[in-house]
Amino acid sequence: MAPQDFAGRTVPQHVDAFTSGKASARDILEGLLERVKRAEPFNPIATLDETGARAAADALDLRKKRGGRFGALAAVPISAKDLILTKGLRTAFASLTMKDNVPALDADAIAQWRAADAVLFAKTTTPEFGHKVLTDSRLHGVTRNPWNREHTSGGSSGGAAVAVALGLGPIAMSTDGAGSGRIPAACCGVYGLKATLGRVPHEVPPDQFGQLTYLGVMARHPADLGAGLASMSRGHRDDPWTLAIGREPFAWPAATGGHPIKGKRITVIRRMTGGYLDPDTEARLDAALAFLDKQGARIREMDGGEIDWKLDVARIILRANQIERFGEVLKKRRDELDPSFAKTLDEGDAVDVVALRRALMDRTTAYKSVQRLFADADLLLTPTVATPAPLATQDQFQPLVVDGKPLGDLRAAWYTYTIPFNMTGHPAISIPFGKSKAGLPIGLQFVAPWYEEAHLIQLAEAFDTETGASNEFPSGFTPS
C-alpha cells in the first residue's frame, strides 16, 4: 500500500479503513505527515513526533496481522495541545522555561485515547501556559488563521483548531479555560466542544475544587466530537468532579429522545453586556435563527444586560491560581517569559484576599443565574465571539480595533460570550456557520444543561447538514 490522504474522513471511516484492511495504520499516518509539511506556514505544530507515531502505527499493523482486537479510535491520528502531559513526548507549555520538559506520565485523557488505539503524532501550539486567547509564543512563534494568514487563529488552543481545519487528523485534544477551545474553533471554522465540569478527567492542575479549565475536543465532523469524548470520559480518582458523575464514560452514539431542534426552547443572547457585535456575525446569527425557526424551535430573545455574568470572577480566580503556580518563575526567570504572560502574572500578584473571597462566592451566583435561564430554555444561543478573527498582530493587552475604532480590551469587547460557562460548568459548543464578507469563519455558541453534550453534538450535526461546513477546506488543502 502507499500513503493515503484521509483528510476530511470521519473517525469511523479511519477505523473502518484500518480494521477492514483497506489501509494500514502506517499508510494513514504517512499520508497525514505529508499534509503536516504543507501546513508549516500556518504553524499549528509545537512538537512533531514522527518516530513515536510511526512506532505506534507499526505496532497496530503488527497486531492486525496477528488477529488482534482494537479500540474505538484504532489508527486515528490525533494531536494534543502543548499544555497536556504526554508520556515521553515533550510538553513545553510553549515556554522557554519548560522547553526540555518530557513528562513521565500521560494526562489520563491522553492515556484513554492511546488505550483506544489512537496514534498521537504531535503537540499543537498554544501561548505560554495558555494564558491568552491568541496563539503566539517566544518558543513556537505565531500560529496563523488557515483562511487568512494575516489573522489570528484565536487561542489558546489555536494550533489544535488550525490542525483540524487543515486536515491534520479528524480530532484534536484542546483545553478551555475561558473559551480557549471554542474561540479558536470559531476563528478557524471547526467544531469545538467544552463538556460539563467533570465529564473529562483533568487531574493534573493543583486546584481541583476550584477548577475552571477543561480538556476538550475539536473536530471537523460533529459526530467525531462524540467519538473523541466517549474515549476520554472515564473518571479518574484524582479528579473529584469526575467522581461526582460516576465512572461510566460518555456514550456515543447516544439517544437523546427526539429531534435536536424541533420543539426545543432556545433563548438567544445577542450581546452579553450590550457591547459591539460585528454586522456579519449578527447577520449569520439571524440566518441561524431563521433555520432554527424553520426546524420548529421555540425562540425567544433576551437582553444579556439582564444578567450579571460576573465576568471578572473567572479572571480573578485564574490569576490567583496562576501566580500561586508560577510566582517563583516570575521572580527568578522573568526575562525568559513572554511579556504578556509576565504581565498576566503581575495581575495575579495584585489580587487581594478580599477580592478572591468575593469571587469564590460570585462563582456560585453566576451558576445559579444560568440555572435559572434553563428553567425556561433547553438551549442558550450566542455568538461565540463578537467579531471574526482579529489580525495576527493583535496584542492581548491592547484594545480590539474595528474600522479604526477602539472597542475595549479583548476580554470585554471580544469574548464575553464564552467566559461564564467555564465558571458555571455547563457544556458549550462552537458551531461554524458561514463566513464574513472578508472570508473569515463565524461561529455560534450553544450552551446546554449539565451532562447534555449529546444534545449539543446532535444539534451540530443538524447544522452541518444545513451548511456542509465539515466539507469545507482552506485553499490548497481540499483532499484530492
* Nearest by Cα to 45 from 77, 9, 15: 77
Mean pLDDT of 199-227: 96
On whether residue 195 sits in a domain, the answer given is yes
* Nearest by Cα to 93 from 312, 329, 324, 318: 329
Q: What is the pLDDT of residue 371?
A: 98
Interatomic CA distance for residues 179 and 218, integer angstroms: 13
pLDDT at 257 over 80: no
Alpha-carbon distances of 30 from 27, 36, 159, 478, rounded to whole Å = 5, 10, 20, 17
Q: Tell how strand 441-447 and strand 428-435 pair up.
A: antiparallel
Q: What is the DSSP string of 295-328?
A: TT-EEEE--GGGS---HHHHHHHHHHHHHHHHHH
Mean pLDDT of 266-284: 96
Q: What is the domain range of residue 275?
A: 11-471
**3-state secondary structure at position 88:** coil
On whether residue 443 sits in a domain, the answer given is yes
Interatomic CA distance for residues 44 and 190, integer angstroms: 14
Interatomic CA distance for residues 406 and 277, integer angstroms: 13
Binning pLDDT at 50, 70 and 90, where does residue 1 land?
A: low
**The dihedral sign for the CA sequence 187, 459, 242, 316:** positive
Binning pLDDT at 50, 70 and 90, where does residue 244 land?
A: confident
Residue-wise pLDDT for 330-339, tens only, equals 999 999 999 9
Interatomic CA distance for residues 418 and 469, integer angstroms: 22
Binning pLDDT at 50, 70 and 90, where does residue 261 land?
A: very high
On whether residue 478 sits in a domain, the answer given is no
Beta bridge partner(s), residue 387: none
Interatomic CA distance for residues 387 and 187, integer angstroms: 9
Q: What is the pLDDT of residue 182?
A: 98
Residue-wise pLDDT for 418-476, tens only, equals 999 999 999 999 999 999 999 999 999 999 999 999 999 999 999 999 999 999 999 99
Interatomic CA distance for residues 87 and 90, integer angstroms: 8
On whether residue 208 sits in a domain, the answer given is yes
Asked whether the beta carbons of 80 and 86 are under 8 A apart, the reply is yes
Interatomic CA distance for residues 455 and 461, integer angstroms: 10
Alpha helices in 307-447 (DSSP H): 311-333, 339-349, 353-373, 410-413, 420-424
Residue-wise pLDDT for 53-92, tens only, equals 999 999 999 999 999 999 999 999 999 999 999 999 999 9
Binning pLDDT at 50, 70 and 90, where does residue 480 land?
A: confident
Q: What is the pLDDT of residue 250?
A: 94
Matching residue, cell 443572547: 269
Asked whether the beta carbons of 276 and 413 are under 8 A apart, the reply is yes
Please give the mean pLDDT across all residues of the chain: 97
Alpha helices in 211-310 (DSSP H): 222-230, 240-244, 279-294
Interatomic CA distance for residues 375 and 230, integer angstroms: 28
Residue-wise pLDDT for 107-146, tens only, equals 999 999 999 999 999 999 999 999 999 999 999 999 999 9
pLDDT at 248 over 90: no
Residue-wise pLDDT for 398-422, tens only, equals 999 999 999 999 999 999 999 999 9
Total Cβ atoms within 10 A of residue 237: 11
C-alpha cell at position 151: 489573522
Q: What is the pLDDT of residue 427?
A: 98
Q: What is the pLDDT of residue 444?
A: 99
Binning pLDDT at 50, 70 and 90, where does residue 249 land?
A: confident
Q: What is the pLDDT of residue 247?
A: 66
pLDDT at 98 over 70: yes
The 8-class DSSP code of residue 192 comes to: E
Q: Tell how strand 379-383 and strand 265-268 pair up.
A: parallel
Residue-wise pLDDT for 359-409, tens only, equals 999 999 999 999 999 999 999 999 999 999 999 999 999 999 999 999 999
Q: What is the pLDDT of residue 326?
A: 97
Alpha-carbon distances of 216 from 71, 156, 248, 274, rounded to whole Å = 20, 12, 18, 29
Domain count within the chain: 1
On whether residue 97 sits in a domain, the answer given is yes
* Nearest by Cα to 122 from 137, 140, 104: 140
On whether residue 479 sits in a domain, the answer given is no
* Residues contacting 450, CB < 8 A, separation 6+: 196, 197, 425, 426, 427
CATH number for the domain harbouring residue 32? 3.90.1300.10
On whether residue 273 sits in a domain, the answer given is yes
Chain Cα centroid distance, residue 448: 16
On whether residue 480 sits in a domain, the answer given is no
- Amino acid of residue 411: R
